Structure 1
Amino acid sequence: MTATTVHQPTHREALWALEDAFERGDLITVFGRCTVEYDGRAASSLGVGRRLLVLKPDGTALVHTDENQKPVNWQPPGSEHHAAVRDGRLRVRSVHTSPDETLAVRFETVEQLSAMSVSGRRDLSVTGSEADLRNALLDRPALIESGFEPLATERPTDAGPIDLFGRDSDGRPVVVELKRRRVGPSAASQLQRYVAAIEREEGDNAAVRGILVAPSVTDRARRLLAEHELEFVAVEPPSSTGDAGENNTLDTEPAETNAFDLAVDDSAHDSAGDATGNDESEAAGTVPADEESN
């Protein structure tokens, strides 16, 4: 089992950790001072208190205190998790659409956030990891494009570590974000942050390129990539035989433009599957939201 934990992160750092964990399909726990509100079949609220929020990859959301075995609020499987930073505070929502129900947890402070990959799911399929994909690209950088030269992995920036950094055949800086499965807008948002960080380091005339490498992307992610002149290369993670799939068609043509803008400021980050109609940019997981006071 792979587990990552951050202690006393800033609200932005907690958002980034949630964003990555949503993409991986991790089991997530967040502990801190928060308020809890539910709106749906009825309405309920909990004032400020130290609580444990559990977000499961099947969409389940649980809010626990230090008493009793049952959660004080919960959402069933099939909800969708979202995270954003609003007014300088981390907000996590679990949204359920049938019936319409929303559980909103607003953190005043985040004391600990953990994300864990969990085995034993009956529908689990074995695929290559992001580390396997990275190693395959280091061995065969032409899978990204001819002339690409890898220079560093996990390169630190003020927006977080970059999966793979290098230069193209013209010497331009290239930021490569790796994902082992189909991804949505949150991956495009993440790549944009890293590109902006390198642009700040390299200067205004750096002409930094950003390339998202994944098996596939959603239409919404494709539009965001095109709007921000980012690129997509389709590569499957290595199979059990160790071969990376070479479905590496470079997709750089702008898709249709729409009114959706990628948010890259401190207040919010967009992510996949925000079906709520809310105009805030958020990171989204794969769970329907439902909360009930017990």
Structure 2
Amino acid sequence: MANGAQRSEWTRAVRGFHAGARSDFGSCSFAVVVASSVNGAGGAVPTVLLLCSQGVPNSVIESGERARVQPETTEASRLVETAIQEGLLATLFGRCRVEYEGRAASTLKEGERLVVLKPDGTALVHSDEGQKPVNWQPPGCTHEVQTDGDSLVVRSRRETPEEVLLVEFESVDHVAIFDVTDDHDLSLTGTEEDLRDRILEDPSILEPGFEPRATERQTPAGAVDIYGVDGDGNAVVVELKRRRVGPDAVSQLNRYVESLERDLHAETTVRGFLVAPSVTERASRLLGERGLEFVSLAPSPDT
């Protein structure tokens, strides 16, 4: 074990190292833990653990790196300008105010926010709540960045209509730029189109003998999802819903049926089918009252 004199010597050494570390590593904060171990000769040797609490220290980020923690204003400006010039995505987090002027005007006072600048001209300003940005600019805008004293100013300009989004950072905690590649579009499943395709591929799912004749058939009341005939030659109107539905869906189907009854031959029977995973009790009662039918079917067989 180390004696009191050794501990004092280690403490002085660590304090000196800690002070030097702060100057060498810029804005990174440290915790220093000192323990003792035994060397081969049986003597006590200090073991120093250096823990950084704020990510990668600034001094180890080379000039070619593309992220900074608590950067100087000029450093943040340089990175964002690089992103704009090279068509990269940039993110900034810090304390800022936001102003918009265009078809209307708005102001967000100082607060901590995340700003995203995309290569397609999109600009997004996010707070710590909700999924939607608190302010934004659409694709096609032009991004600009400049310094104003100790502040970093980002502008996103739209030509038509003329709109300007201004974000002024009084401090930037983090800035990063990325060369993003994403070649895939979002693929949706469980849609009404999936439900329609299931019936068109196997019409007997609706009922044996059903024969689809058209999709999106126009009527004075709107477009019918699927129009066809049953085994007896009666006209069939099919309304598709991908989720559990209530009385509104029944009323919509009834309007289609009544519209076709007026348009078709007077003696033609028009049947109405509501196709959905499930219906509410009120919807079920209304279906019976209107002489309409319900088929429980999900967009995907696995649902």
Q: Does TM, scored on the shorter chain, surpass 0.5?
A: no
Q: With CA pairs under 8 Å and 6+ residues apart, which has the higher RCO, 1 or 2?
A: 1
Instruction: With the length of structure 2 as denominator, give the TM-score of the two structures.
Output: 0.39
Larger Rg computed on CA atoms: 2
Greater share of helix residues, 1 or 2? 2
- What is the TM-score of this pair, normalised by structure 1? 0.40
